[in-house]
């Protein structure tokens, strides 16, 4: 599960000590004794969390000198976790030994220890560097050994093996075995400390065989051995030529009464297929571990590393796993990465004939005809559970928080629509759902109906990428139910003219060394550092190696599966900069072969330092080179309402006018514009520019406005006005519009002592959409609805070409501080309004605008928005403080040169310079304070606080 921001944890360790752990009676402390061969413990800590009876958040525990009695002292370092009365329920803890803020893990799997008295009123466990075993005493025969050993050993070419050991070795003592046959070593190049080097063997690597290195450690005359891995040759032409598999038939396929299984496992010596009648193991009530059958898979000579088997049975509805043997180790009951559905908690794959999963009419639906270009999209970001979990949703209890809750109709609260009817009424074109593929290791689906269990999670820790999440299904034990239910969702939205976009997380896996990918082909699917550790560019423990051909193939195959089988309208890529450029280009190209209006966009940043070269990342610096792929515009986001790195820091709408050019950049759709030469464009295409001010990450718009107004001692009653204006900047801009669900009626994520900016697994009490807020803030909601209707009705707001934007959109009244105004003419758009004039007054004072001659219809003012004419004005108009207006001249295309260079800031308080004074009084202190305040917030991705260890 994702973990809290480590800086915050360091500040709060004493609090956590009294809140998160409680062991058996009379057990005072948990001592985790840890031994490193080199004696280097700098920056190494232990991340610990309560795992039973209920999993809870983790804390970082420092290592200190071990001063325990001799009977318990490992002679190294120890982490001490007090087990006070506040931790009464802790019977087991999970832990990870890590370096720095998740720079490296010692052992890449989560480990667990029961709280048991070691005889002195405390619980002691023992760990050794690089050893997954856990000792319960110093001399535990089943625990880790402190004897010398190999740390790594892997091929770096087809005849060279790089190795490291815990102590210096004599090269003459090194041996290499191929399937137990001793090989001849032609050369050995040792490091200066003799603790590692490169061994050159006299023959070429055979990928079908296993290799072992061996040496005599002279410090204790013990013989150490290590199964050599293939990490260093996965990127070679030899490996790719031998194992690049191009067919689209991996996984389990049912056809013509037969079922075929295919698994890519190029370095494995054996694969066994296990078939079950149930997706529920015996560890769950009603489950079983009895197998219907087991079959040995066959690897063909020309099958590029694919094990396959065809059975003369239609096994639709049965479950399966694989036992995979690599070297001397067999990993059992591994779920096929290509499994298209799973049973409870994603522990067994499901065999599916998708022709049997469709609800009535599903095959006949097509993507709604609601867009020609990406700029026509208005995306509404939503979490499945949030929409219907609050009591004010007023739908049926069986659908609350589930897939079918997304489409239940006729739900109301005090006369206003809720849920699905609200979304239809709002007028958006796309609903983007937070990840809904299986993240079974983050939520226990068997506790779905347990009112005491927190079933909420954003879903950014993927387990089975090609399966839907079971926690949103009426029956998470049956993997077929969720398929049918979600297809009902897609059909209902399609019938309503709305497309479904999928938030996808292919940049990392929810598990690392124990992930299905790693257990099948160790080291292939993830990027590793030079030390052999998992690279952590995601901030969640690992990152996938999309640049490798079979990783790229998996991602492309998976996206195409969702696009075709579930008829999705687009894909939002989490931490997209962790994907290489070629992968994103191939995804877009393949999807656009299906339908050129399928959207592909993502976050153009990473969650940490990646080993993928910056020049090859699908990032802000490269997005303009990637055809058909868009990116979120954090320039507009932070410019409008303040940086996400500073919760209290204001943006343009709160009176900090320094990011003027960033706001104008979003307004012009992310292009190089003649009136905004002070900003370096990085999108360069309005179809690539996703304009937004809030999303699921960071504070909601209401919470951000509250915090920033409070910090600058402004009136909190301004929040409704500022909320409307913040998203008026989005909805009246060129580019793609993106809204966070609930912002339209001032959604908040409250805590007892503030607001939750990182609610990835906070309870429903934080995350739920409260429909009573729609009643309380109906005028704000109606304003958003009106802006959406106006945008959809006017193609001048949706120009798809950078040149047209430059030709037809010009900024006017440009010399007015805190005031952004622009005119749009309709030369290329055939808009019914010949000249649209957008006026954003973010001053604390009213502004008088002198208009060019002619009649101007007002469609949007401070209280009302839509396609109806509110009033018609000429000569001049007063724009109140903190409001946005839209005027239209239906008769004349007005040249921008006819607009005055400056509007008049009115003296609302008998001070002609009031706006300037207040702007400076707010902006300068805030800008100075922002540098200090940034530690309160994490990087662009809040989920970098580690959902998985």
For residue 293, how many C-alpha atoms fall within 13 Å in the half-sphere facing its CB? 7
For 823-852, b/e burial (b = at least 16 CB within 10 A) is: bbbbebbebebbbbbbbbbbbbbbbebebb
- Hey, which bits of 535-660 come out as E strands? 570-573, 599-602, 630-633
Catalytic residue among 106, 129, 386, 603: 603
53: cis peptide before it, omega within 30°?
yes
Q: Is 532 helix (H, G, I), strand (E, B) or coil?
A: coil
For tokens 């001010």, name the residue.
693
Torsion 84-87-93-98 (CA) sign: negative
Tokens of 579: 């994907």
Q: Is 7 helix (H, G, I), strand (E, B) or coil?
A: helix
Pairing of strands 871-873, 58-62: unpaired
What's the count of helices (H) and strands (E) in the chain, helices before strands?
17, 49
574 is catalytic: yes
Catalytic residue among 381, 469, 485, 574: 574
603 is catalytic: yes
Render 96-131 in DSSP notation, one character per residue. Answer: EEEETTTTEESSSS-EEEE----SSSSEEEEEETT-
Pairing of strands 430-433, 378-382: parallel
Tokens of 409: 């109709």
Which residues are CB-contacts of 730 (< 8 A; sequence separation ≥ 6)? 636, 640, 666, 691, 692, 693, 737, 738, 739
Tell me phi and psi for residue 310, to 5 degrees.
Answer: -115, 125
What's the rounded Cα separation, in Å, for the pair 273 and 292? Answer: 11
What's the rounded Cα separation, in Å, for the pair 78 and 633? Answer: 46
Tokens of 470: 């079971």
Which residues are CB-contacts of 172 (< 8 A; sequence separation ≥ 6)? none
Torsion 424-434-729-719 (CA) sign: positive
What's the rounded Cα separation, in Å, for the pair 167 and 544? Answer: 32
Nearest to 629 by CA among 681, 668, 678, 592: 592
Q: Sort 724 into a burial class: Cβ within 10 Å, 0-12 / 13-18 / 19+.
A: buried
Tokens of 679: 């900003």
Catalytic annotation, residues = 574, 603
């Amino acid at each position: 599960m994702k973990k809290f921001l480590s800086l915050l944890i360091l500040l709060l360790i004493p609090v956590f000590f009294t809140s998160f752990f409680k062991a058996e009676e009379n057990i005072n402390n948990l001592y985790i004794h840890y031994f490193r061969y080199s004696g280097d413990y700098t920056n190494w800590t232990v991340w610990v969390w309560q795992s039973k009876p209920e999993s809870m958040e983790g804390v970082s525990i420092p290592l200190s000198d071990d001063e325990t009695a001799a009977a318990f002292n490992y002679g190294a370092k120890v982490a001490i976790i007090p087990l006070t009365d506040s931790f009464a329920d802790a019977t087991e803890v999970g832990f990870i030994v890590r370096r720095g803020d998740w720079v490296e893990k010692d052992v890449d799997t989560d480990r667990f220890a029961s709280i048991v008295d070691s005889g002195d009123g405390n619980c002691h466990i023992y760990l050794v560097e690089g050893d997954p075993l856990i000792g319960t005493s110093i001399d535990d025969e089943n625990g880790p050994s402190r004897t010398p050993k190999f740390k790594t050993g892997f091929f770096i070419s087809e005849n060279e093996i790089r190795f490291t050991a815990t102590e210096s070795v004599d090269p003459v003592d090194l041996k290499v075995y191929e399937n137990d046959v001793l090989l001849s070593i032609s050369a050995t190049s040792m490091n200066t400390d003799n603790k590692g080097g490169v061994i050159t063997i006299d023959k070429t690597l055979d990928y079908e065989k296993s290799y072992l290195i061996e040496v005599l450690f002279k410090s204790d005359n013990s013989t150490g051995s290590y199964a050599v891995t293939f990490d260093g040759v996965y990127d070679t032409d030899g490996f790719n030529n031998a194992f690049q598999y191009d067919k689209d038939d991996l996984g389990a396929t049912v056809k013509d009464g037969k079922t075929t299984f295919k698994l890519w496992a190029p370095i494995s010596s054996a694969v066994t297929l296990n078939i079950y009648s149930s997706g529920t193991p015996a560890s769950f009530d009603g489950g079983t571990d009895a197998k219907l059958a087991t079959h040995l898979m066959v690897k063909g000579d020309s099958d590029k590393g694919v094990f396959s088997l065809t059975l003369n049975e239609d096994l639709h509805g049965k479950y399966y796993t694989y036992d995979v043997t690599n070297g001397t180790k067999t990993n059992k009951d591994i779920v096929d990465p290509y499994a298209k559905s799973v049973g409870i908690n994603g522990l067994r794959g499901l065999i599916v004939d998708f022709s049997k999963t469709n609800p009535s009419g599903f095959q006949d639906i097509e993507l709604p005809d609601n867009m020609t270009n990406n700029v026509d999209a208005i995306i509404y970001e939503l979490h499945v559970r949030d929409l219907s979990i609050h009591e004010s949703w007023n739908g049926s209890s069986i659908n609350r928080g589930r897939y079918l809750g997304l489409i239940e109709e006729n739900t109301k609260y005090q006369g206003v629509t809720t849920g699905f009817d609200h979304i239809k009424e709002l007028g958006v074109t796309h609903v983007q759902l937070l990840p809904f593929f299986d993240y079974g290791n983050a939520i226990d689906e068997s506790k779905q109906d347990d009112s005491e269990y927190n079933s909420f999670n954003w879903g950014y820790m993927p387990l089975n990428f090609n399966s839907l999440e079971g926690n949103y299904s009426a029956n998470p034990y049956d993997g077929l139910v969720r398929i049918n239910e979600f297809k009902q969702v897609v059909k209902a939205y399609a019938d309503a003219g709305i497309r479904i976009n999928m938030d996808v997380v292919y940049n990392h896996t929810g598990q690392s060394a124990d992930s299905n990918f790693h257990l099948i082909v160790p080291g292939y699917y993830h990027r590793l550092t030079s030390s052999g550790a998992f690279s952590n560019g995601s901030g969640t423990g690992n990152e996938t190696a999309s640049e490798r051909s079979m990783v790229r193939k998996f991602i492309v195959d998976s996206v195409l599966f969702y696009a075709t089988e579930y008829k999705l309208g687009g894909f939002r890529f989490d931490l997209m900069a962790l994907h290489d450029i070629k992968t994103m280009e191939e995804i877009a190209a393949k999807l656009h072969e299906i339908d050129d209006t399928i959207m592909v966009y993502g976050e153009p940043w990473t969650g940490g330092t990646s080993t993928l070269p910056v020049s090859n990342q699908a990032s802000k610096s490269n997005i303009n080179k990637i055809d058909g792929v868009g990116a979120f515009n954090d320039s507009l986001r932070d410019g409008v309402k303040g940086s996400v790195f500073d919760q209290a820091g204001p943006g343009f709408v709160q009176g900090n006018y320094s990011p003027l050019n960033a706001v104008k950049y979003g307004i012009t759709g992310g292009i190089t514009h003649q009136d905004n030469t002070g900003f370096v464009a990085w999108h360069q295409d309005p179809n690539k520019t996703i304009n937004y001010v809030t999303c699921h990450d960071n504070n909601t718009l209401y919470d951000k406005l509250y915090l920033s107004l409070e910090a600058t001692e402004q009136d909190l009653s301004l929040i409704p006005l500022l909320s409307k204006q913040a998203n008026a900047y989005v909805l009246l801009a060129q580019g793609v519009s993106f809204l966070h669900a609930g912002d339209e009626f001032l959604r908040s994520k409250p805590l007892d002592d503030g607001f939750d900016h990182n609610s990835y697994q906070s309870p429903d009490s934080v995350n739920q959409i409260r429909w009573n807020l729609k009643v309380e803030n109906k005028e704000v909601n109606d304003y958003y609805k009106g802006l959406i209707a106006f945008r959809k009705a006017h193609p001048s707001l949706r120009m798809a070409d950078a040149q047209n934007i430059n030709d037809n959109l010009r900024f006017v009244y440009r010399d007015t501080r805190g005031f952004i105004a622009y005119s749009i003419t309709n030369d290329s758009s055939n808009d019914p309004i010949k000249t649209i004039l957008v006026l954003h007054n973010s001053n604390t004072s009213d502004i008088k605008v002198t208009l060019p001659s002619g009649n101007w219809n007002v469609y949007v003012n401070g209280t009302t928005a839509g396609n109806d004419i509110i009033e018609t004005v000429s000569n001049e108009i007063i724009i109140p403080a903190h409001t946005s207006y839209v005027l239209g001249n239906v008769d004349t295309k007005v040249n921008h040169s006819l607009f005055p260079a400056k509007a008049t800031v009115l003296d609302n308080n008998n001070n002609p310079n009031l706006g300037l004074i207040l702007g400076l009084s707010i902006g300068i202190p805030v800008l100075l304070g922002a540098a200090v305040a940034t530690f309160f917030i994490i990087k662009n991705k809040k989920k970098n606080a580690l959902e998985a260890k």
